[in-house]
Amino acid sequence: MYRMSPSDLKDKEWSMIEVLTERSAPQGAHRKYDMRQIVNAIFYRVKTGCQWRMLPQEFPPWQTVYDHLRRLKERGLWEKRVAN
């Protein structure tokens, strides 16, 4: 069972950025891990400054989280603004 972290997105926050994490071409295999958990893991690492390999086991594997961070960065997710 997943324990909430103070850095986790609230439902309203997630609803604002969820669409930005969707794949542009969703063909291929389905995602093995929930994108909200991946984003929560990214925020946890940013908030705590922990090493990738030290991410708590409640999150997806660090390699998966890192790969998604890299891909989202390449797509410009972190620079996009969300309208209120």
Q: In angstroms, rounded to a whole number, what is the distance separating the alpha carbons of residues 42 and 71?
A: 12
- Residue 1 has what pLDDT? 47
For the segment 49-84, what is each residue's pLDDT rounded down to a tens digit?
999 999 999 999 999 999 999 988 888 877 765 555
The domain total for the chain is 1
Q: In angstroms, rounded to a whole number, what is the distance separating the alpha carbons of residues 65 and 62?
A: 5
Say if 7 falls within a structural domain.
no
Say if 43 falls within a structural domain.
no
Say if 62 falls within a structural domain.
yes
Say if 6 falls within a structural domain.
no
Say if 77 falls within a structural domain.
yes
Residue range(s) defining the domain that contains residue 56:
51-84
Mean pLDDT of 37-41: 94
Which residue is associated with the tokens 């890299």? Answer: 70
For the segment 2-27, what is each residue's pLDDT rounded down to a tens digit?
567 888 999 999 998 888 887 766 66
- Residue 21 has what pLDDT? 82
